[in-house]
């Protein structure tokens, strides 16, 4: 449904300073000052919120609409992008793996030889850091 159709069913509609956002009297309660916020997202979804506390269903019922009317005909075949870890977790991992590399660099600076296990751990640390960067698109 188009936002203009929804706006046509409301009273005292006013454009706000934000793009595609309006306010109006809430039809679900005795409203004297506009307390209903109506906005349209770039994908066509429409958001409504009564700042006086009316439930969205009450607002929609009072103007003869349903939740389905807040969505465009077809949004498309969207799949949520599932990342294997959060950005915060990725940064922590990079910090930890960097400390492993630094510790091994300290051994080398002191003239000590790296064991096969320590060398393997450095390779693993670099691989894990590169994996985080790849997943982040870097």
Looking at residue 97, what is its pLDDT?
92
- Interval 60-96: pLDDT, tens: 999 999 888 898 866 555 555 566 667 788 888 899 9
The residue to which tokens 């009316």 are assigned: 54
Looking at residue 81, what is its pLDDT?
58
φ and ψ at 134, to 5 degrees?
-65, -45
Q: Which residues in the chain show pLDDT less than 50?
A: none
Residue 62 CA neighbour count, 13 Å, CB half: 16
pTM: 0.52
Choose among 20, 36, 37, 19: nearest CA to 28: 36
Looking at residue 72, what is its pLDDT?
80
């Amino acid at each position: 449904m188009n936002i203009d159709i929804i706006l046509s069913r409301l009273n005292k509609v006013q454009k706000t300073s934000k793009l595609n956002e309006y306010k109006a009297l809430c039809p679900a309660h005795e409203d004297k000052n506009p307390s209903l916020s109506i906005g349209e997202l770039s994908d066509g979804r429409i958001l409504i919120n009564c700042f006086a506390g009316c439930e969205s269903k009450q607002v929609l019922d009072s103007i003869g609409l349903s939740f389905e009317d807040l969505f465009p005909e077809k949004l498309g075949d969207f799949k949520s992008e599932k990342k294997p870890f959060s950005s915060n977790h990725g940064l922590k991992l990079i910090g930890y793996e960097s400390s492993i590399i630094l510790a091994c660099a300290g051994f080398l600076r002191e003239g000590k030889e790296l064991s096969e296990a320590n060398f393997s751990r450095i390779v693993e640390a670099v691989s894990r850091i590169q994996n985080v960067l790849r997943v982040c698109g870097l």
